[in-house]
Structure 1
Amino acid sequence: MSKTVIVYTTNDCIECTMVKRVLTEEGIPFEARDISKNPAFQKEVEKYGFLGVPVTVLNERAVKGFTNELKEIIELAKS
């Protein structure tokens, strides 16, 4: 099973910056996908049932925002 974390983001999103900072501090590599630069990324976000960012995904588990659910992604990524 892949451990690739994907963060859907935009450059002017404070919560996105916070998510990326926490992942970096936790030593979790991630791929940032900027929805403002690639419309296909927005479609991917919508596939998970969300309209805005940040959306953090690991193994089809998606969480929106900078919330406690993000901790679940971090723990999954570390395991």
Structure 2
Amino acid sequence: MSNPVIVYSTADCVECDMVKKMLTEEGIPFEVRDVLKNEEYQEEVEKFGFLGVPVTVVGERAVKGFNPEVIEFIQSLKK
């Protein structure tokens, strides 16, 4: 995979944990960026047009939350 996967997250975020668990189960490496520990990460999330987490990013594509779109997005990374 040419673009790294980034999951913008916070501690104790159930949806964030679900995204990270699914990526792990699919064998897709990812970087976690905690928006509460680094203000720059929150600014990055906002540039994608989101205020909350989780936000999963690959290249220029960002998907918010844990929903069917995120699941399809994650599974498409393996193709």
TM-score of the alignment, normalized to the shorter chain, above 0.5: yes
Query: Residue by residue, what CA displacement relative to the aligned partner does 1:34-64 show, whole Å, maximum 9, x if unpaired?
Result: 0010000000000000000000001211110
Report matched runs for 1:44-59 at 5 Å: 44-59=44-59
Contact 2:8/2:33 (8 A) holds in 1:
yes
TM-score, length-scaled by structure 1: 0.92
Q: TM-score, normalised by structure 2?
A: 0.92
**2:34 aligned partner:** 34
Runs of 4+ residues deviating >4 angstroms: none
Give the alignment's Cα RMSD to 1 decimal.
1.3
State the percentage of identical aligned residues: 66
The Cα shift of 1:73 comes to 2.3
C-alpha separation in 2, matches of 1:67 and 1:59: 20
Gaps in structure 1 of 5+ consecutive residues: none
Verify: 1:64 aligned to 2:64, yes or no: yes
The separation in 2 between residues aligned to 1:48 and 1:41, in whole angstroms, is 11
Deviation at 1:72, TM superposition (A): 3.3
Note the residue ranges of structure 2 that are not aligned, 5 or more in a row: none
